[in-house]
Amino acid sequence: QSALTQPRSVSGSPGQSVTISCTGSSSDVGGYNYVSWYQQHPGKAPKLMIYDVSKRPSGVPDRFSGSKSGNTASLTISGLQAEDEADYYCCSYAGSPPYVFGTGTKVTVL
Amino acid sequence: EVQLLESGGGLVQPGGSLRLSCAASGFTFSGYAMSWVRQAPGRGLDWVSSISGSGTSTYYADSVKGRFTVSRDNSRNTLYLQLNSLRAEDTALYYCAKDKGGCGSTNCYYGLDVWGQGTTVTVSS
């Protein structure tokens, strides 16, 4: 049950794109197409942004996109906006037990 | 509106017990697996436990196995987490969360689409 590895922080200027990586193993990220991403603003509950690697729930802007290659998943935020500044967590289905979260990444909008 | 409301947190001494509750509304509770996720102060999200929609399948993180017990009462639309033998490292904000479903079963764990606001557990003497 080792946590998935994410960079501690990424940053970008408004309008730029940033990508957050999420590295696991063949037992989690690489073994299933069930990676989800969550956005968490300070003092708030997490919010689902991406599920099933690349699908967006209703209401999530299309500048958020997800992908996966091998044991690494990625979240890209295009056209970065001030309100995107938050912590982001990846999560993967891992069989039994079912969930493993990433270490979290702080996105800073410069 | 789909809502989850946690309660039951508080200050407890090491070795003590607490029972957390999560009241659900706005969806067919028994149709979805549910999970508990915690977040220690200044730390990241940490999956704790999950339970299938019927309650027959349960899962635990190694760090809580044998000490925590997840259960649900589908007639009351309520999820529970019994915390026993609490340790200082269990201090955290505990969230309940609903699985997004859509896999043709109530035992799928492919994403958490609704989260409560959390209840705080502090373990200290």
**Each residue's pLDDT tens digit, B53-109:** 999 999 999 999 999 999 999 999 999 999 999 999 999 999 999 999 888 787 788
The answer to whether the CB atoms of B61 and A1 lie below 8 A apart is yes
pLDDT band per the 50, 70, 90 thresholds, residue A81: very high
Residue with tokens 């091998």: A70
Summarize the confidence of residues A7-27 as an average pLDDT: 98
SS3 B31: helix
Residue B106's pLDDT is 78
SS3 B19: strand
Whether the CB of A57 is below 8 Å from some CB of chain B: the reply is yes
Beta strand pairing call for B18-25 and B3-7: antiparallel
Residue B13 has pLDDT above 80, yes or no: yes
The token pair that represents B19 in the structure block:
């029972």
Residue of A nearest to B118 (CA): A45
pLDDT digits (tens, 9 = 90+) for B14-24: 999 999 999 99
Residue B104's pLDDT is 79
Residue A89's pLDDT is 98
A100 vs B47, B110, B113: nearest CB: B47
The answer to whether the CB atoms of B95 and A98 lie below 8 A apart is no
Measured from the Cβ of residue B25, the count of other Cβ atoms closer than 10 Å reads 11
Residue A96 has pLDDT above 90, yes or no: no
Residue B122 has pLDDT above 80, yes or no: yes
Q: Where are the alpha helices (DSSP H) in A8-91?
A: none
pLDDT band per the 50, 70, 90 thresholds, residue A55: very high
Residue A68's pLDDT is 98
Query: How many percent of chain B have pLDDT more than 90?
Result: 92
The token pair that represents B1 in the structure block:
């509106």
